[in-house]
A and B are shown apart, each in its own frame.
Chain A
Amino acid sequence: MASERRLRIKTLVMVLAMVVCANAGDLLLKRGMSEIGAVQLTGAGLAHAFWLTVTNGTIWAGIFFLTGFMVSYMTVLSWADYSYVMPAGAFGYALLTLMAVLFLHESVSPRRWVGVLLIGVGVLLVGQTKPRTTEVTSEAVA
């Protein structure tokens, strides 16, 4: 069915946006916080860290991507099953491992590779099920 195919493509594109935004956001926050350095747990130290945080461009870029994650997450859940989106989003863990190997040249244990493989197969299995199995609610139609 053409509409079913469209629904699946729309859902997978949104899940991809979710994963990319979440990973980019986390990465930028981590980079921004390491630019700021270790925070001193005193009143003055926290105030200073707060000021450095709100004036740091990298932190704002991270917040931008994490907002993007939340918006794409809410949007995709307005039409797709929670039990479809949740496991499909785990694809991010596999992506993060691949990126760590490709760009940061980190070494990855065999155990972690097995995990990446299991996530990959699991996401493929979930991905080919129907993205939506519940009825459209009356409020949504109205």
Chain B
Amino acid sequence: MTRVILALAVLILGSTGGEIAITYGMKATGEPARLRPRALLQFLGRALRNGWFWAGVPLMALSFYALLVLLSWEPISLVIPASALSYVVGTLGAKYILREQISAARWAGVLLVCAGVALVAAG
């Protein structure tokens, strides 16, 4: 039981941590001047030279590894619904690390999405 909770924590913290690092890197990169192929390529070039982007990638790989390990122990109908918790953890990270303002409507939406994804994934 302890190892399942530990792997789940690595899964959730790895994916949200990785996504938050990538978001941080993308905000530092700044938006593309225009949504045209040339401007997008220049934008991607700038993004790939940002350290935060590359901090996010191994965290997401770690999370994927934890997912594979979990799936070898527990049925998928338990693992995926449990990983829906990352919507709540991600929102907390957005609030306290990225300093985004989470309005009551956004919190309500996140909680509904979290419950909804858990139900859909449980089948």
Give the interface of A toward B (CB within 8 A): 10, 71, 74-75, 77-79, 81-84, 86-87, 90, 93-94, 97, 109, 111-112, 114-130, 133-134, 136-137, 139-141
Contact = CB atoms under 8 A, between A and B. Distances in A.
B120 A82 contact: no
20 contacts: A75-B43, A78-B43, A79-B31, A83-B102, A86-B90, A90-B117, A115-B116, A115-B118, A115-B119, A116-B116, A118-B112, A118-B113, A119-B113, A119-B120, A126-B113, A127-B109, A130-B103, A134-B98, A136-B30, A139-B30
B63 interface: no
Contacts of A86: 19, 87, 90-91, 94
Given A87-B109, A133-B100, A137-B27, 10 more contacts: A75-B43, A87-B91, A87-B113, A109-B123, A115-B115, A119-B116, A134-B98, A137-B30, A139-B28, A139-B29
Contact of B31 (A71, A78, A94, A134): A78
Contacts of B70: none
Contacts of A84: 106
Interface of B: 19-20, 22-23, 26-32, 35, 40, 43-44, 47, 53, 87, 90-91, 93-95, 98-103, 105-106, 108-123
Contacts of A78: 26-27, 29-32, 43, 47
B52 to A, nearest CB: 11
Contact of B110 (A75, A93, A97, A126): A126
Contacts of B99: 134
Given A77-B27, A78-B32, A118 B47 contact: no
Contacts of B32: 75, 78
A83 B112 contact: no
The 3 tightest CB contacts between A and B, nearest first, are A140-B30, A115-B119, A122-B112
Contact of B28 (A116, A118, A122, A140): A140
